Chains A and B, each alone.
Chain A
C-alpha cells in the first residue's frame, strides 16, 4: 500500500510540467524584453509608463507574472517538501506561500491596470 502524506502534491506530472511550461513562457518574455531594451532603451517615468500602458504589453506582462508566481509555487513546494519534515508545519508554510503568491498576483494586476 502506498502511504500518502500531505505534501500539496498530486503525485503526478502536472506540477513538473507546469514548472517547465511556465519556465518557457518566462524565458520568451525575458528574452524579448531584454532585446527590446537593447534596441530602444526606456528612461524616465513617462517612457516606462507609456510602455506598460500598451494593452499588448500589459497582457503579456500579466501572463509573465502569473507564470512567475505559479513557477514559484512549484519551486517553494519542492523546497518545503525537502526540508520541512513535520506535516502540519509544512502544510502551514505551504498555505502561507500560496497566500503570498495570490496577493502578489492581485497586486500585479493592480499595478498594471491602474496606469
Chain B
C-alpha cells in the first residue's frame, strides 16, 4: 500500500502502464515525427522516379537493398499508424466512439489494422 508521502516525486516512464489509447497516442506522435524526419528521403525517391528512366532504375537499385526495404517498411507502418490513429482522432473530435469501451476497441483496431496492413503491403512490395 502506497501512502500519500510515498508517492513518486517524478514520472518514471518505465513504471507507467500505458492503456491502449495511450499507446495509439504516443505512437501517433512518434510516427509523425519519423515521417517529418524522413520525408525528404521520400521526396528524393519521387524525384528520381519521375526524373528519367535512369533515375527510375536508380530508385530500383536503392530499394533493392534489404536494409532500405526494412527501413521503408518501417516508414510504411509509420504512415499507416498515423493515418488510422488520425482518422480515429477526427472521429473523437466529432464525438464518435468516445466512451471508455469504444475508445479501447478502436485503439486495438488502429494498432492491429496498421500492423496487418503493413505486413500485407510490405510482403507484397518486398
A-to-B contact residues, CB < 8 Å:
20, 23-24, 27, 30, 44-46, 48-49, 52, 68, 72, 75-76, 79, 97, 100, 104, 107-108, 111, 115
B105 to A: closest C-beta gap in Å: 21
Contact B50 A48 (CB under 8 A): yes
Contact B90 A48 (CB under 8 A): no
A79 to B: closest C-beta gap in Å: 6
Contact B29 A79 (CB under 8 A): yes
| A45-B43 CB under 8 A given contacts A20-B93, A23-B90, A75-B36 | no
Distance of A108 Cα from B108 Cα, bound (Å): 35
Q: Tell me if B87 is interfacial: C-beta within 8 Å of chain A.
A: yes
Contact B87 A27 (CB under 8 A): yes
Contact A72 B39 (CB under 8 A): yes
Contact A111 B36 (CB under 8 A): no
Contact B33 A79 (CB under 8 A): yes
Main secondary structure of the interface of A (DSSP, over half): helix
Contacts of B49 in A (CB 8 A): 45, 48
Contact B50 A52 (CB under 8 A): yes
| A104-B39 CB under 8 A given contacts A20-B90, A45-B53, A79-B33 | yes
A6 to B: closest C-beta gap in Å: 21
B96 to A: closest C-beta gap in Å: 14
Main secondary structure of the interface of B (DSSP, over half): helix
User: Which residue in B32, B56, B86 is a CB contact (below 8 Å) of A44?
Assistant: B56
| A75-B83 CB under 8 A given contacts A24-B90, A68-B39 | no
Contact A72 B52 (CB under 8 A): no
A78 (CB) vs chain B CBs: closest residue: B29
B36 (CB) vs chain A CBs: closest residue: A72
Q: Tell me if B19 is interfacial: C-beta within 8 Å of chain A.
A: no
| Among B32, B39, B50: residue with most chain A CB under 10 A | B50
| A108-B56 CB under 8 A given contacts A30-B83, A72-B36, A79-B29 | no
Contact B46 A111 (CB under 8 A): yes
Contacts of A75 in B (CB 8 A): 29, 32-33, 36
Distance of A17 Cα from B93 Cα, bound (Å): 11
Contact A108 B43 (CB under 8 A): yes
Name 10 extra pairs, CB < 8 A, besides A45-B52, A72-B36, A107-B47.
Answer: A23-B90, A27-B83, A45-B53, A48-B50, A72-B39, A75-B32, A76-B36, A79-B32, A104-B43, A107-B43
